[in-house]
Each structure stands twice: as structure tokens, then as C-alpha cells.
Structure 1
Amino acid sequence: MRLSNFAPYFSGAMLIIIGVYGMVKSYREWKNHDEPVRRLALTLMISFGLFGLVGGIAVFLTILLNPELWVLEAIVITAGYLLLANESLSILEKLRKPEGRHERKKVECSLPVAGIVRSREEAITLLKAIDIYANLPLLIVGREHPEEWERRTGMEPDEYIWLTRVEHEKAISPSGLHVLSGKIINFLKGNPGAIVYIEGIEYMLFYSDFKAVAKFLFSIRDVAMMEDAHVLILANEDTLTQEQMAILKKEFEEIDVEKVLEKLMGPALFGAFSTGKRRGLNARPKSPEERSGTGEKEAEEAETLRREEKAKKRG
């Protein structure tokens, strides 16, 4: 038998081998990535199945059964090509950053590149104000389940990383500082001017020594500086030693939350906000009817002050 007679068999076998190999590799990538890479990996897996596995089988059927089955082979290979091309173009379009999305506003918020917040309550207050008045991209690294975070804070960040050893699509293990670092750096590079807020430093210290955790934080700080972004960490002497806090304070500035809020919101609106906070601390408990009426009134007053402040800035 001439060598040319083996060519169809060889091409069919190679298609099947390439198809199986590609499907296995695509499946591994599908398991290890989030959207939209996960979706692209699934498309590749299906395309390798059509191109290689089914296409190779179609070659053997054409040789052994009926030469006219080449039509089936052509249909399968064309379908795989069209699926891969269409999905790749679609995902590339979605990955393209829309014009104006998360465009950084010129606001004077006095927020340092790297800052320490001493309490979670202050951190949430600050993040909410920045979300409303500056609208900057936000990445949260927290110890709570993503849905619990949104429920408790009323905030929906652009990206949330759940610091846990539990298997979850948004989870990263506290022992995987290199994985966490890569995820944060990619976010910073893709969203110049963004804010990264990190909780759970004490949890990381269960799995890594302080030197490793500090190096991780300092590397994030350096990238934030290059990307004109901000990194905020929750840290205090209740969870860290004085020596550890002293090391962090050399690279991270302790934030005066009220000062930042005043710069961000403007004196008039911040004055109303600050007064409202003091009243909330000292006032007697109110009935549901009183709370409802007061809340509407305060909301109207805040909106009025906000419009006045914007008018002053434009003037």
C-alpha cells in the first residue's frame, strides 16, 4: 500500500489527539479562572471537540463508510471555527473598557496612596462616601461571604475577593498571597485610579509570617502608586503588635476619616452629615413612624445641601 493511502488515517488520528489534548487543557483553564476567561475556556473546549474529536471521527467515517460523508466533516469543522471566532470576538468586545466608565473625577478627597483605617465602621463610611461622590472602581478583600458583605454594607463593589479556604468562585485562600497579589495587581492595572480595601490581615497571619504579609502589602502599595490608585487596609493594635503596626505605618499613612470626608463632601454637606451622626449617637430610640418621617426629612435636607454645594463649585 502506498504511503499516500495512510495520509487520511494519519490526519484523522492527529485531529482526534489534538482535540482530546485541547479539551483537557481547556477544562483545566475553565476550572481555574473566573468570567469572562472561564467562558472563553468553555468555548475552546467545545471547539476542540468539534474540530478535533468529532472532526477526526468524521475523517475515519468518510474513509471507511462513504466518501460522500466529507460533507459531515466540513460542517463539523466549519461549525467549530465559527463558534470559536464568534465567541472570541464577543469576549474581546466585552473586555474592552467602555469610554467614560470609571472615569476618575477630579475630587479633593485627601486620600493617600496607601492608608490605614483603624475601625471597620470608619472604613465602610469612607468607602460609601467615595462611592457616591467620586465613583471610583472598588475592589474589596474581605472575610465575609460576598452576599453577606453587600447585605451588611449596602455596597456592591466592582470586584470582591473572599478571603477563605472554602471552595467558591470568588474565594482565595489566605495562604495564597501570590495568587491574591496577582488578582489585585491585575485589577489596579485595569482600573487606574481604583481603590483596594483589604481586611483580614490577622487571618493571613495564621498561614504566613508577618514578613511575608508585609511584603505582600508593600508590593500592592507600589503598584497603586504607579497606577495613581489607593490601597486601604484595616489594621489596629487589637489584632497586631505595636512593632508590626510601626512597620506598617512606615509605608501606610493613618487616615483621618473625618478630614477626608470633609474634603470629599464639602463643608456644608459634611457639617450636616457630622451633626446627623452625633444626633444618632445621643438621641433616644424612635418609633418606626418617627424614624420614617425623620429619614425622609434628612434625605431631603442632604439632597438640598448637595445641590447647593455643587452650585457653589460651578460658580
Structure 2
Amino acid sequence: MILIGIYGMIKSYQEWKSHDEPVRRLAFTLMVSFVLFGILGGLTVFLMMFINPDFWVVEAIVVTSGYLLLANESLSMLEKLRSPERRAGKKVRCALPVAGIVKSREEAITLLKAVAVYTGLPILVIGREHPDEWKSKTGIEPDEYIWLTRVEHKKAVSPSSLHVLSGKVIGFIRENPGSVIYIEGIEYMLFYSDFKAVAKFLFSIRDVAMMEDAHVLILANEDTLTPEQMAILKKEFEDVDVEKVLEKMIGPALFGAIPSRKRRELNASTEGSEERGRAGEEEAEEAQPLRREEATEEGR
């Protein structure tokens, strides 16, 4: 029991170091359970056999504690890994297309915030910024973040390794049906691979998302891609109407705190322009008789 406990504790510690939450927490719980079950349990058995049988009380406490700790954490982990649709007992309204294009990062962040708050669907982000910097700038903490860089980092994938990137994304989609994948940095991939390879990467993810009821959102516009490249992408990815998606996802009553403000600002500026235009017309009409009088006086 002691040898098994020591072996299990070492293996659990190695897994604890190599994973992020929530697997990290499960590995820690398993490590503590091996200590209780194996090491302390084995020691109390030794004490019962060679010193005093009354140590069975300690044995019962240690083994029961280890069992309850491991069972509780395992059940909690299973609950967390359950898909949001089943956890809620109903289908979540995401309203995002299977494959969509957004033309600005602001639109993408607005959509991702709505997904995080109103659907609870798992989110994977592929970005060019350091994971901590991306979270601090956007205020979103995705379930998984892949840093697109050649720098050595546990969350990094080289932009030239599209096969590695594809494997990670497809694995996430299959483990999290209904999830949302957001990809920015396509222009950075094009520094290391030709457009044909990048397009194949995006299309393969799109096909898997379709089978798993997931959603792929990419950031792409004419400033970073040629018209021909955009035309190819738009055959597989549709333009996302942010306001319509938010209205379907959130509902008319709560729709669009951010877009609404923008609409109010736009309406205010439009009304101001119209008022200035009407004022200009009135001033022009008032000025016409004065100009006629001035012209008459000059003629005289």
C-alpha cells in the first residue's frame, strides 16, 4: 500500500505540474488521496499489526477521508465536463453560424462576451498576444488559449505548424461539442505558409465544427487579405451580422448594451447633422433678402 501510494503521489505530482485548471485541481486531489489511501493507510495497517489493534480507528478515518475526497472531486469534474446543453437541461441559444467572418476585433470581442455570459459554451481562442495580455485587454477568460508564436511557451504553437494547430483545435471541438472557436492572426500564418495551406487549415476546422455543432469565428478583412483571398474564404465562411446574432442570443429585452450605445451615438450625430443642415438652410434663406437688398443698393 505504501509503495503504491508513493508511486501514485509522484505520478499525480507530475500531472499537476504539466496541466492547467481544472485538470490541475483533479491531479492535486488524486495526489492527496494517494497519500491518505496508500502511505498513511499502509502505515496504520503496520501499526495495527505490530503495535496496537486499536489503530483501526485511525485507519478508518484515513481511508474514509481519502475515499470521500476522491469521490467528491471526481463527481465535480464530471459535472464540469458535461456539455452546457445537458447541464442546463435545454439547448443553449448561441445563434452564431457554424463558420463566420468578423471584420473587426471589437465585433469579435462583443460576440465572445455574449457567448461567455449568456450561453456558457466552451471557448477556444487562437491569438497573437500573450495569453495574460489577451485576457487583460478583452476581459474574457477562454477555456483554452493558443498563443500563435515561435517563442517557447506551454500554450504556444508555431504559425508554421498548422498540422499541430489543427490537431489541438479539432481535439478541443470533439471534447467540447457546441464550443466556439475564435481565430485571429491569419495574416501572421501567411508569413510562414501560403494561402492555400492556411485555407485548408480553416476549412478542415469548419468541417469538424459542422459535425460537432460547434462554431468557428475568424477575424479577416480586406486590409490584411486580398480580394481574391477574401472571396475564397467567404465561400465557406459567412459574414456575421453582430446585431442580429446578439438579438437572437440575448433576446430583444436585453439586446445589445454595446451596440445600442453605438446606435444612440450614431443617431445623435445624425440628428445633429440634420439640425445643423436645417439651421444652415434657415440662415441661407434669411441671408437671401439681405443679399438682394445689398445688390439693389449697389445698383442705385
Which bin holds the TM-score, normalised by the shorter protein?
A: 0.5 to 0.7
CA drift at 1:45: 1.1
* Alignment equivalent of 1:104, drawn from 84, 89, 92: 92
2:123 alignment counterpart: 139
CA drift at 1:99: 4.9
Deviations 1:213-255 (A, max 9, x none): 4444323312322343421101235445666545534422344
Report percent identity of matched pairs: 58
Deviations 1:143-171 (A, max 9, x none): 34556545544x53663525255657xx3
CA drift at 1:50: 2.0
Give me the whole-angstrom Cα distance separating, in 2, the residues matched to 1:208 and 1:27. Answer: 39
SS at match of 1:86: helix
* Alignment equivalent of 2:100, drawn from 115, 133, 147: 115
Give me the whole-angstrom Cα distance separating, in 2, the residues matched to 1:199 and 1:48. Answer: 43
1:161 alignment counterpart: 145
Greater Cα shift, 33-42 or 234-243: 234-243
SS at match of 2:218: strand
Give me the whole-angstrom Cα distance separating, in 2, the residues matched to 1:36 and 1:251. Answer: 34
Q: Which runs of 5+ in 1 are unaligned?
A: 1-14, 285-315
- Is 1:54 the counterpart of 2:54 in the alignment? no
Give me the whole-angstrom Cα distance separating, in 2, the residues matched to 1:70 and 1:35. Answer: 37
Q: Which runs of 5+ in 2 are unaligned?
A: 274-300
Give me the whole-angstrom Cα distance separating, in 2, the residues matched to 1:56 and 1:62. Answer: 10
What is the identity, as a one-letter code, of the residue corresponding to 2:41?
G
Distance verdict in 2 for CA 1:280–1:131, change over 3 Å:
farther
2:19 alignment counterpart: 33
CA drift at 1:186: 2.5
Give the TM-score normalised by structure 1. 0.60
SS at match of 2:88: coil
CA contact (8 A) 2:173 2:208 kept: no
CA drift at 1:43: 1.1
1:294 alignment counterpart: none
Distance verdict in 2 for CA 1:70–1:215, change over 3 Å:
farther
* Alignment equivalent of 2:2, drawn from 9, 12, 16: 16
CA drift at 1:179: 2.6
1:234 alignment counterpart: 219
SS at match of 1:34: coil
What is the identity, as a one-letter code, of the residue corresponding to 1:201?
I
Give me the whole-angstrom Cα distance separating, in 1, the residues matched to 2:19 and 2:182. Answer: 22
CA contact (8 A) 1:137 1:158 kept: no
Q: How does 1:70-219 map to 2 (within 5 A)?
A: 70-71=55-56, 72-96=58-82, 97=84, 99-100=87-88, 103-105=91-93, 111-125=96-110, 127=112, 135=119, 137=121, 139-141=123-125, 142-145=127-130, 148-149=133-134, 152-153=137-138, 156=140, 159=143, 161-163=145-147, 165=151, 167=153, 171-174=155-158, 175=161, 176-177=164-165, 178-187=167-176, 189=177, 192=178, 194-204=179-189, 213-219=198-204
Q: What is the aligned-residue RMSD (CA, Å)? A: 4.4
Give me the whole-angstrom Cα distance separating, in 1, the residues matched to 2:101 and 2:261. Answer: 26
SS at match of 1:35: coil
Give me the whole-angstrom Cα distance separating, in 2, the residues matched to 1:196 and 1:127. Answer: 10
SS at match of 1:228: coil
Give me the whole-angstrom Cα distance separating, in 1, the residues matched to 2:13 and 2:241. Answer: 48
Distance verdict in 2 for CA 1:101–1:21, change over 3 Å:
same
Give me the whole-angstrom Cα distance separating, in 2, the residues matched to 1:210 and 1:119. Answer: 20
Give me the whole-angstrom Cα distance separating, in 1, the residues matched to 2:192 and 2:36. Answer: 44
Name which one, 1 or 2, has greater alpha-carbon Rg.
Answer: 2
Give the TM-score normalised by structure 2. 0.62
Give me the whole-angstrom Cα distance separating, in 2, the residues matched to 1:206 and 1:75. Answer: 61
